[in-house]
Structure 1
């Protein structure tokens, strides 16, 4: 495969669009993450790509071959499911070899490729065990090996880490990225975890209500979200309804709920417009000459503290602090104008 194209891919259930007009070009070797909250259409997109759901509209192409008219088994894709979907009565080796045997490959070829896949996911010591004798991370590695042993043109992963604990998630993130790079795989990966997507993907596709909100590199989406919905999903927890009071080519000044902020406008804005100011918690700092707030909740997070504080007008702010405040304390917070984004409401 040199390229894959989704052209206006749409899927309806009961007359309602679960996925609407998804268009995307994927280059060979790319790692694409479909990102969004539950119900946004990301798993629907993956199932349409895999052939598990027929399209309502649109088409899918691979190197000038139309795929959406082919059954799943003829598309040649590897799939890693959220639930692992391993055969409980088969050993690790037999689980991984199953797809090769179904393709009636020579026995020596099946053995060679199975051995290579087991070594790749570092499960040599567990090759004879049943899935029930493995940890969650080991089972996930078996599922990944079963997908890549087929040497597919595309690997599809549907939230494969969501059932793992925090430590295993970090380990498996690194493992998946290592396999992707070492094998030169083309991968489409579904997740609702923005940190996971940022750390693994070459490009992200953010979905909301079945529609694409933004496509770009992790850096682009992290620093320049296209709208308030992308900003919300990319960590801008402070989304504040405000009104524009001044506009210059470089800075937009907004006021509301007892706050005055200066930031960067996204789109065309004018004085009097209703807007949403977006600020990440780490970009709100405790400092002099700021907005007075009352601390309500303090959470210890290692190097820093997550703080929830409320203004006199009742607006809740999420911020970070180095020194521990006490619930009930009165502090003042400031925001760097270069780190505040202002979106049309």
Structure 2
């Protein structure tokens, strides 16, 4: 591993475009061997952060450090990073082997070592039999493997990946996710990975950085963000499809009361919502339960049922016009009257203001 480091530190990294702050004060310390995912919607600043790290964008403010050496003053080619782009960025006139070898040739690596490293990189991504082909003769998944081989063959201290799976179909995305994680672990890579797909981020990363409008919303492990989102924006990205604007009632023990369709629900307060204030109550579809009509829950009518294998996804509408998303092993029919109950341990209650 070239230029190995113990920690990579981003101190207040910011980038503006024409007065618009695309990235504001990003503080992040990455340990050697970590897999970090930058997660958020389009325009949140995640690709800007990656390009600042790569040296493709100069910083407006802040600094980047590899151990005690300052990096943001160096050009991209002197940072020792590998990059995998969304559109693969392969040379169409060069064979797979020559695409992978290109960076080593630019570094004037001796021929014998070059051949050994290219052979090893092709073996790692299972493309030995495709080495003589041009990229245009490969599938999308194979082209992405070439791009990954071209990055890791340089033995970089850090690999940067910018939505590398977004152009692939669902089956290939799953396969490549496994391959990327396998390579990360087997080669002891340090990886920073940009994605808008929360499932992808949860399955790959050791830690996630959720961004919104250029600002960090939360940094934590997949489990922390999945079970303890810091605000309703993070909850939205972590699969809390039911985000209900309500008003907070009184505290009840460690919980807080909210009212939905005349029914009192007790949820877990997050970030100190005050009694009487406007709140967002968040719950995952799998944490709502379907009961028979006339039960003790919130009455609703089934509007949509989607088959998803062992479970169905259900959209139900309450009498007050609130849409609820549920997942269930039971299979109600469109038009069925049901009641919906909530596990209070799973209902999170956030302040309704802008999370920034």
- Specify the TM-score bucket, using the shorter chain as the normaliser: over 0.9
1:268 and 1:161 map into 2 onto residues whose CA distance is 38
2:221 and 2:9 map into 1 onto residues whose CA distance is 18
2:119 and 2:274 map into 1 onto residues whose CA distance is 64
Q: Once superposed, which parts of structure 1, at least 4 consecutive aligned residues long, lie more than 6 Å away? A: none
Q: Which residue of the other structure, out of 285, 294, 300, is the alignment partner of 2:301?
A: 294
Matched-pair contact (CA < 8 Å) for 1:247–1:269: no
Q: 2:161 is matched with which residue?
A: 157
Shift of 1:270: 3.3
Instruction: State the Cα RMSD in Å.
Output: 0.9
Q: Which residue of the other structure, out of 200, 205, 216, is the alignment partner of 1:212?
A: 216
Gapped regions of structure 1 (runs ≥ 5): none
Q: 1:192 is matched with which residue?
A: 196
Q: How does 1:36-115 map to 2 (within 5 A)?
A: 36-115=40-119
2:77 and 2:123 map into 1 onto residues whose CA distance is 26
Matched-pair contact (CA < 8 Å) for 2:260–2:298: no
Moved more, 282-291 or 148-157: 282-291
Matched-pair contact (CA < 8 Å) for 2:272–2:350: no
Q: 2:334 is matched with which residue?
A: 327
Shift of 1:268: 2.1
Shift of 1:68: 0.7
Tell me the TM-score normalized by structure 1. 0.98
Q: Which residue of the other structure, out of 309, 312, 317, is the alignment partner of 1:310?
A: 317
Shift of 1:248: 2.6
- Deviations for 1:247-269, whole angstroms, at most 9, x for unmatched residues? 03322110145453211111223
1:325 and 1:305 map into 2 onto residues whose CA distance is 9
Matched-pair contact (CA < 8 Å) for 1:275–1:343: yes
Moved more, 297-306 or 323-332: 323-332
Gapped regions of structure 2 (runs ≥ 5): none
Q: Which residue of the other structure, out of 254, 257, 262, is the alignment partner of 1:253?
A: 257
Matched-pair contact (CA < 8 Å) for 1:36–1:208: yes
1:270 and 1:118 map into 2 onto residues whose CA distance is 58
Does residue 264 of structure 2 align to residue 264 of structure 1?
no
Q: 2:17 is matched with which residue?
A: 13
Tell me the TM-score normalized by structure 2. 0.95
How many residues end up aligned between the 2 structures? 345
SS of match in other structure, 2:296: strand
SS of match in other structure, 2:49: helix
2:272 and 2:204 map into 1 onto residues whose CA distance is 33
Shift of 1:241: 1.0
Matched-pair contact (CA < 8 Å) for 2:268–2:349: yes
SS of match in other structure, 2:297: strand
